[in-house]
Structure 1
Amino acid sequence: MAKTVFYSFHYEQDVHRVQLVRNINALEAQPLLNSQDWEQVRRRGDEAIKNWIHKQMAYKKAVIVLIGKCTASRPWVMYEIKKAWADKKPLLGIRIHGLSALGSVDSAGSDPFAKAIGAGVVPVFDPAMQDWSGKTDSKATYNKLRDNLESWSEQGVIRRSW
């Protein structure tokens, strides 16, 4: 069976990119809520969101933050990072700005781990590839991600007890 992971990401900005990651089928992850289901959870308040996160993260072997342009500014992503760190789950990041979402790529976002738990602690992988003219090549980026996703998922770090 594939390794089970919890994907943390900025829904509105990156849901199409996340769907591409899920379509690789290298890892088993939590269900991807459609916008209506997410709104139902969100409308019930912060406790409902926390409960959903706790339930979805409970039996996952690792937490992967899929880092887009705005990911580091999202409060629920910060919450998920801190929860993974507190639960001593392997944690890592993968940049997804180079994947095409509705025909366009994005610029790289800042490191969400620097804000949440300290820079330089958690590995961040960047599959973004460029073509001969220096533009991001989304197909080559997808292929690099597809070829490396499973091995990268094994390289998360766990918070050590002092």
Structure 2
Amino acid sequence: MKRKVFFSFHYNRDNWRAGQVRNMGKVSGDSTFSDNEWEAVKEKSDEKISAWIDAQLLNTSCVVVLIGVETANRKWINYEIKRAIELNKGIIGIYVNKLKNYEGVQDTEGKNPFDNFTVNGRKASEYIKCFKSSFSSSKYVYKDISDNIQELIEYGLKNKPSTW
């Protein structure tokens, strides 16, 4: 079953990588939004951006944080993670740094963004599963993510914040 998910990622650095994951055909087509939509939203006030994110989150079952080198501690990614926890959404992370960007370049691994959140006196990263492909070739990393994303989402749904 294809789930409707919210993809959280650092737009400027990882939008190409995020596009690859969004277009794998493994999640509901309703999960994706166009780059043009985000371009329009990001020019708005903080209040309008947070309202847009909240509306997107309400209609999804899981938040998939696509982790790149600059993902951790970004204002809006932090907001999306915080709201996902508050709304009891499934949450998972997928490292995308080994996927090539539009220039055909892989990136270095970023820090785990869930380390920045404390739940029940523990780092949220102790509760949230993050997938990191063991492959080094972008082609195989892509296949590895594609082969595992649906199972990861289901794991996130079974291990929601209310179960922590």
- TM-score, with normalisation over the residues of structure 1? 0.88
Give 1:20 shift.
0.5
**Larger helix proportion, structure 1 or 2?**
2
Work out whether 1:86 is the aligned partner of 2:86: yes
Structure 2 stretches of 5 or more lacking a match? none
What is the identity, as a one-letter code, of the residue corresponding to 2:113?
Answer: P
2:112 alignment partner in structure 1? 111
Matched, 1:150 2:150: yes
TM-fit CA distance, 1:152: 1.1
State the secondary structure of the residue aligned to 1:155. Answer: helix
Q: Tell me, yes or no, if structure 1 residue 22 matches structure 2 residue 28.
A: no
Change (3 A) 1:32 1:127: farther
User: Do the aligned residues in 2 keep the contact of 1:67 with 1:96 (CA within 8 Å)?
Assistant: yes
- Percent identity over paired residues: 35
- The Cα offsets for residues 30-89 of structure 1, whole Å up to 9 and x where unpaired, read as 31333xx43432332101101110111111011110101100031100000000000001
- Is 1:123 aligned with 2:125? no
Output the TM-score relative to the length of structure 2.
Answer: 0.87
**SS, match of residue 7 in structure 1:** strand
The aligned length equals 154
| Uncovered stretches (5+) of structure 1, i.e. residues with no partner | 130-135
- Does 1:52 pair with 2:52? yes
Partner of 1:41: 41
RMSD of aligned alpha carbons: 1.6
SS in 1 for 2:126: coil
3-state SS, counterpart of residue 92 of structure 2: strand
1:57–1:16 Cα change, 3 Å: same
Does the CA contact (< 8 Å) of 2:6 and 2:56 recur in 1?
yes
Counterparts in 2 of 1:116 and 1:98: CA distance versus 1, 3 Å: same
